[in-house]
Amino acid sequence: MSEDHFYVLPPRPEWLDGVPQLGIWQPLTSLPKMWAARHFVEHLFGSGTNQLLETKATKLRKGIKCVLQEDILNAGGQHIILKIRFADGVVWLARIRFPRCPVLDHECVGGFRDYASGAKVMESEIATMQLVASKTQVPVPRVFGYELGPNNGIGGPCMLVEMVEGETLENHIRKQGGIWGSQVRHLLDQMVPLAFELSTIKFDGIGRLQFGTLPNTLDLVSYNELSAPPFENAFQYLEDRINCRGASTDLNEVSDGSRLEWTEANMQQKQIMAKSIYQCAAARLMKGAEPGPFPLQHMDLNQQNVIVDSACNVVAIIDWEHSGT
């Protein structure tokens, strides 16, 4: 048997200095003052809005009282996660999409711009989680309830979900200072079958899921406009990606026309180079574009969205907001 090797975690890049560490449980005061998530949570508890979530959770558990914890939270770019602790010891999570900071003189970071779009994204996330849970053995947190409408009183779309015991693989690696080769093999032995099983769910178009017009049904809709039909084939999808609005792909506009190396390019030039490469590749792929069916994918399956126990056993896959075919 070969000797196990430990892969040391590289130091945090200098460009992340001053950037808050997200995706971990931390006190609200650990978030920078110019972070929209902080203002949202302060208002949530300061206005008493937290009681709306507590009332809904208590009703879902048939009268068992609960408290939305104010002392600790988990924040991302557009989500905050709060713990709901019930009187009998059970803990749920409230996952809320928060808007951009409404204070005009605040240059806050994070939050969604449009409520309707934010709600549709969360609807797609919930629909996908419920489908995956019903069709596969992929471990997905259970969804107990949700409030997506603009008049829900919370200020953002919200879902109440199961809290799975464990930690993200990213935090597990960070605590260890790296990862053992045997742990990598153990993780791959679990993740490959899960990814394959997920890919067995297939649809005739390219898009994301939302609740259907009939009870207990799902519809596939466009990625760009969540009320529009999905792409019918790969040709349409790739053509849309090529024609999508964005930065110019003409490098001559940002250089003197000489050959530009990636290591010498600035951030704007790198964005243009990357888009140019993408469009060239898409144009070639269109020549052999397949009509489908198209498998369901998580789209953001990385160490931040895999929950493991102390032995690196995968106990849950989280954050399905980008999922689709």
Name the residue type at position 221: V
Residue 62 tokens, joined: 């048939």
- Digit-by-digit pLDDT tens for the chain (325 residues) are 578 999 999 998 888 777 777 789 999 998 888 889 999 999 999 999 999 999 999 999 999 999 999 999 999 888 999 999 999 999 999 999 999 887 767 778 889 989 999 999 999 999 999 999 999 999 999 999 999 999 999 999 999 999 999 999 999 999 999 999 999 999 999 999 999 999 999 999 999 999 998 888 999 999 877 778 999 998 888 888 777 755 555 655 555 556 778 888 888 888 888 888 888 888 888 887 878 899 999 999 999 999 999 999 999 999 999 999 9
In a domain, 296, yes or no: no
Task: Determine the pLDDT at residue 108.
Answer: 82
Task: Determine the pLDDT at residue 134.
Answer: 96
In a domain, 224, yes or no: no
CA distance 2 to 66: 51
Domain count, the chain: 1
pTM of the model: 0.88
In the three-class reduction of DSSP (H, G, I as helix; E, B as strand; rest coil), residue 179 is classed as strand
pLDDT, the chain, mean? 90
Asked if residue 295 has a cis previous peptide bond (ω within 30° of 0), the answer is no
In a domain, 99, yes or no: yes
**202-203 and 167-168: which strand pairing?**
unpaired
Task: Determine the pLDDT at residue 19.
Answer: 74
CA distance 302 to 22: 15
In a domain, 289, yes or no: no
In a domain, 49, yes or no: yes
Tokens 């945090």 sit on residue: 12
Name the residue type at position 3: E
Q: What is the DSSP code (8-state) at residue 29?
A: G
As to burial, measured by CB atoms within 10 angstroms (0-12 exposed, 13-18 middle, 19+ buried), residue 26 is middle
> How big is the CA angle at 226 (ends 224 and 230), to the nearest 5 degrees?
70
Domain coverage including residue 156: 18-170+309-317
In a domain, 245, yes or no: no
In a domain, 1, yes or no: no
By C-alpha distance, which of 72, 74, 79, 77 is closest to 45?
72
In a domain, 3, yes or no: no
Tokens 């992929």 sit on residue: 138
Task: Determine the pLDDT at residue 251.
Answer: 55
- Give me the CATH number covering residue 142: 3.30.200.20
